[in-house]
Chains A and B, each alone.
Chain A
C-alpha cells in the first residue's frame, strides 16, 4: 500500500461508506468522494490506457481538466462512456470500467503499439494509410476505426429523462470561487437578476440563483451561453442562457511539465495532490518528488510535509536541475535527475498556471501573452463580458521561468492523444509552423479535454522549434464544448413522438376508428388506405371511385386567402397562367415557377370576388408558398395592395368523387349538384355553411366541400351517411395517387424535382404567352427549350403484372442491374416517377421522365431490375381519357 486515506480531515462524510466496483473489483469510498479520490484511496493508480500507444495511465488532476482517467460509468442504457473519474461523484453501487484495454487493464495487447511508436509519429494517419489504394476498404479503414476513439457507445436506449430550459438574466456568473461570488453579490445588491453556475456546489448567496454541478460549455454570439446541469449521477438538463452581462470567474488550470515518462500513473499535478489531501483526505503517495519551474512548487512541498508526506526532493529547473525521466512500469517508482536516481511513489508537477480563457475565447475575446506570468490573459472582446480573478491573470507573480520541455523520449504534451514533444518537433521540421495546421497534423489539443493541459505547452514547444516567440506563434481557437456533453442532454425530450410534431386533420379520429393506415406527408398524418393490407384496399377504393362514389379527407391541402385591389395582378405575376381574366366564381389550375423556370408548386385558385381569391397549394408546399408570396410582396412589389392569410387550418376539405357524386350533392345541397366544372359556390350543404368547388384531382365527377374545421367531422359524417346508399367508400392517398396518375395528373415533388419546367411536363397550356411572370425569362433560355430534355411520358410494361419500382432508371438497352463492381456503364435516359397496378386498366402502368420522351412515343425502353430488365413501351401520359 502506497496511497492511503488520512485518519482525519477532508470534506467527506466518513459515516457514509459507499461500495462501488471498478473493473469488477469491489471497493469502498465515502460520501463526498469522487471516483478518482476513491480509487486513489484504494491505491488504484492504473485507471486506463492511452489512445494510441495504450500506455498505462492514472489520475493526473482533481478536476475538469483530467485527460487520462477516462472511464465508463454505469451499465446498460445508463452507460456513460469517457467520463472523467475526477468529475464522477461516488455513489452507492457505482460500476465503472477502464477504457481502451483488451483483454485487461493490467495486460493489454494494444500496448504493442508502443513498440511501434516510431511508426505512429505526428501525422501517422497521413503517412501510413496511403498506399496501396485497394487496402483502404479491407484493411486500413477497419483498423483505424477499431483503434481510433476511446470508449464505446451504449447499446441500449437510455431510460433517463433529460430536459432543456431557457433562462434570461441580467448577469450570468460562471464560476463560484471567491471572485465569482463577489461579482454575484455585487450584482444582486444592485437589484439585478443574477444566475451563478458552478461545477461544484458553491453554497447559497442571497438574491442569486445558484446552479450547482452546472458547467457552462459554450459561449456564442449575443451573450448566448449553454450549460449542462448534472445531478449526483448524470448530466440532466441543458440550459440556454441569454445574459445582458457575463462574468467569467473560471479560475486557472495548472500546467504539467514535459519530461520523459511524465504520463506514468503516480505523476500528478501538484495542485491536484493538494486537493486530494485537503478535500478528500487522500494521500496519493508516501514519498513525493516535486518538479517545478516556479515558486508554487516549494509552497506545495510545504503543504505536503504538513500532511505527513515525505518530500524526497524539490527539483527546480530555475536551479538548473530537471527530471529527465521517470522510473517504473505501471506506477512511478522513482525519477532520474541527470545521473542521480531518487526513489518515490509520487511526482508532483508544478508547471505554472494558465487562466481558463476557453469561454472568453469562444466569445471572440482577444488574448494577450503575458511574458512575466507566462500565460495568455484576456485582452478585450466585443461582447458584454468581464473576466475576473485568476481567469483574468489576477494572481501575484510567482517567479516562473520558462521550462517548456526536457529533451527526452516519451515526454508527453497531449496525454490523451499521445502527442510527445518529439512529435511537435517533427511537425515543425516538416513545415507545420502555423499553429492551426500543426494542431490538425499532430492532433495535439484535440483530445476530449480540449487542450486544457496541453495547449500552452504544445505551442510553446512549437514556438521554440520554429524560432518564434509564443506571442507570435499564437494560439488555436477555443471551441465549444468546454467539457463533453452527453447526447441524451442534447436530445432532451425531442424523442419518440416528440421527435417531430405530428399534425392531424379535424377528421383524424374518424379515420383511426375506421381502420385507416396513415402515411406521413411532411408532418401530416394522412389516411393512406383503409384496411389491413394495402394492395387489396387500394384496388377496392379505386374501383369504388371510378364506378360509384368515394370520399377523401383533403383537409391538408394548403389554402391561402388572397385579397386586395391588386390581388389579380399579383397572381398573374406569381402563376405561369393568367388569373386576371378569371370570372368571379370560377377556378383555374395554376403552376408556380421559381426564377429559374422550374416548377415549384401547383394548385387550383378560385376567384371568390373581384378582389378576393382562394388559392390552394400542395400539402407539403403550403408554408413554402405562403413564404414565397410574402417575400415577393414585401421585398419586390411592396406597392401592391394585397394581403395573404393562411386558411389551411380554417377549412376542412372533403372531396366526394365518382359517378354518383352528383346524386349525393342533389340530396345534401339541392341546387349545387349542377355546379359547372371549375366553379365554386357558397351555400348550405347538409345544413352547414360551405364553400363547394367543382374540381377534380381524380378525373371523376368530383366536388370539394369546404367547411370550417370545427364542423369538419359533422360534415364528413353527413356525407358518409347520405352516401351509404351509393356505397360511398373512404379512400386514402394511395388511391388518390393512383387515380390521378391514370389521368396523367402530376404531383409536384413526385413528377418534379426542381429541374422540371412546365414544358417538360407537357403543360404548355398552363403557361401564358403574353404576360410576365416569375420564371418566364428562364423559360426562354435555349437550355430550357432543348428538345432532348427529360419529358413526362407514360410507360406500359410489356408484362402487365410488372409494377416498376418508383425511382428506377431507364435505359435503351436490355440490361439487368449490375452486381458488384466492374460492370460496364450504361447510359441512363430517364427514371420512373410514379408506378401503380390499376384495377381500372387491369394492368400496371407508370409515369416517367425520359430524355426526348415525347419523340419516343411508341418505342420501347428498358428498366433494369435485379437479374433482368423490364421491357416498357413509351406512351402518352394519359391512361384513362
Chain B
C-alpha cells in the first residue's frame, strides 16, 4: 500500500503520469479514477491523492519522479500520513451526515466521488466506494479520535 501526494498541471504532466500509471489523474472535481489496483482521488485542480493498493509497488514513486523530471510537479510519499476508516452498512449515509455537512445521497455523491471536507472536528477525504460503503482518509494523528467519534455516532440514531 502506497499513498502519494501528486501535484502538477499541464499536458506534459498528464502525459507523463499516464506513461507510468496507465491512466490520467481525473480532472473533474471530486471524482476518482481507478485501474488495476491504483486509485487517484481528485483533491484540487493540481492536486491528487494516489493510492496504490498493490504490494511491491515501491517503484511507482521512483518511476513517477523520473517521468516527471523537468516538469513542474511534486510526488511525495505520504503513506504514513493518513489512515483509512471504512463506514459501511444501511446507516452509512446517516452516520456520515452526522459528521459532515455534505449531501451524501447517492444522487449527489455517487459511487466514484470523493471530497475533502470537515468531518466531526477534524478534516479528511471521503470516498464513496459503493451504495452503502464509504472510506474516510484521515490524518493518522486524528484517526483514534475519529474512529471513536464514528463509533459513538453509530451507537444511537
Residue positions of A touching B, CB distance < 8 A: 161, 163-168, 193, 240, 242, 493-494, 497-498, 500-506, 524, 561, 563-565, 641, 643, 645-652, 708-711
Contacts and interface: CB of A to CB of B under 8 A. Distances in A.
Contacts of A502: 144-145
Nearest to A509: B144
Interface string B53-91: 000000000000000000011101111111000000000
Interface in B1-27: 5, 7-8
Contact of B144 (A504, A708, A709, A711): A504
Contact of B152 (A240, A493, A645): A493
Of B5, B77, B141, B146, the most chain A CB neighbours within 10 A belong to: B141
B80 A166 contact: no
A501 B97 contact: no
Of A163, A501, A561, the most chain B CB neighbours within 10 A belong to: A501
Contacts of B82: 649
A65 B81 CA distance: 53
Nearest to B140: A649
A516 B100 CA distance: 34
5 contacts: A164-B98, A166-B98, A168-B103, A503-B145, A647-B78
A504 B146 CA distance: 12
B145 A647 contact: no
Contacts, number: 101
A165 B80 contact: no
B7 A645 contact: yes
B108 A168 contact: yes
Given A165-B97, A649-B81, A497 B148 contact: yes
B115 to A, nearest CB: 13
Contacts of B77: 650, 708
Of B7, B103, B140, B156, the most chain A CB neighbours within 10 A belong to: B140
Given A164-B98, A165-B94, A645-B7, A498 B152 contact: yes
Given A649-B81, A649-B82, A565 B72 contact: yes
Contacts of B148: 497-498
Contact of B103 (A165, A242, A504, A561): A242
A652 B100 CA distance: 29
Contact of B140 (A161, A497, A506, A641): A506
Nearest to B122: A501
Contacts of A240: 101
Contact of A709 (B8, B80, B121): B80
A650 B80 contact: yes
Q: What 6 A-B pairs are tightest by C-beta distance, nearest first? A: A709-B80, A168-B103, A643-B74, A503-B141, A649-B81, A643-B7
Given A161-B156, A163-B156, A501 B145 contact: yes
A643 B73 CA distance: 7
Contacts of B144: 502, 504
Contacts of A494: 121
Nearest to A562: B74
Nearest to A503: B141
Given A163-B156, A168-B108, A524-B141, A645 B103 contact: no
Contact of A501 (B76, B79, B121, B156): B121
B156 A564 contact: no
A648 B79 CA distance: 12
A461 to B, nearest CB: 44
Nearest to A566: B72
A506 B72 CA distance: 33
B121 A641 contact: no
A58 B153 CA distance: 41
A708 B140 CA distance: 12
Interface of B: 5, 7-8, 72-74, 76-82, 94, 97-98, 100-103, 105, 108, 120-122, 139-142, 144-146, 148-149, 152-153, 156-157
A92 B86 CA distance: 42
Contact of A500 (B72, B103, B121, B146): B121
B99 to A, nearest CB: 9
B145 A165 contact: no
A709 B77 CA distance: 11
A561 B153 CA distance: 35
B152 A504 contact: no
Contacts of B98: 163-166, 493
Contacts of A647: 76, 78, 81
B74 A709 contact: no
A640 to B, nearest CB: 10
A564 B121 contact: no
Contact of B79 (A161, A164, A166, A708): A708
Contact of A504 (B120, B122, B141): B141
Of A161, A167, A240, A498, the most chain B CB neighbours within 10 A belong to: A498
A710 B79 contact: yes
A510 to B, nearest CB: 14
B141 A505 contact: yes
Nearest to B155: A161
Contacts of A651: 80
B120 to A, nearest CB: 7
Contacts of B101: 166, 240, 242
B139 A167 contact: no
B72 A641 contact: yes
A649 B103 contact: no
A523 B99 CA distance: 19
Nearest to A161: B156
Contacts of B94: 165
B100 A166 contact: yes
A709 B7 contact: no
Contacts of B108: 168
B90 to A, nearest CB: 16
A709 B120 contact: no
Of B8, B73, B146, the most chain A CB neighbours within 10 A belong to: B73
B105 A708 contact: no
Contacts of A163: 98, 153, 156-157
B122 A650 contact: no
A164 B120 CA distance: 11
A651 B80 CA distance: 7
Contacts of A652: 80
A336 B54 CA distance: 90
A649 B139 contact: yes
Contacts of A646: 81
Contacts of B120: 498, 501
A568 to B, nearest CB: 15
A564 B74 contact: yes
Contact of B105 (A168, A524, A643, A649): A168
A493 B105 contact: no
Given A505-B141, A643-B74, A645-B74, 20 more contacts: A163-B98, A165-B94, A166-B97, A166-B98, A166-B102, A168-B103, A242-B103, A493-B149, A498-B120, A502-B144, A502-B145, A503-B141, A524-B141, A563-B76, A643-B7, A643-B8, A643-B73, A647-B78, A648-B81, A709-B80
Contact of B78 (A165, A504, A650, A711): A650
A502 B120 CA distance: 12
A498 B142 contact: no
Contacts of B97: 165-167
Contacts of A645: 5, 7, 74, 76, 78
B16 to A, nearest CB: 15
A191 to B, nearest CB: 11
Nearest to A240: B101
A166 B145 CA distance: 21
Given A167-B97, A240-B101, A503-B145, A708 B80 contact: yes
A501 B142 CA distance: 7
Nearest to A565: B72
A500 B148 CA distance: 13
A240 B100 CA distance: 11
A650 B5 CA distance: 11
Of A164, A493, A645, the most chain B CB neighbours within 10 A belong to: A645
Nearest to A506: B140
A500 B80 CA distance: 23
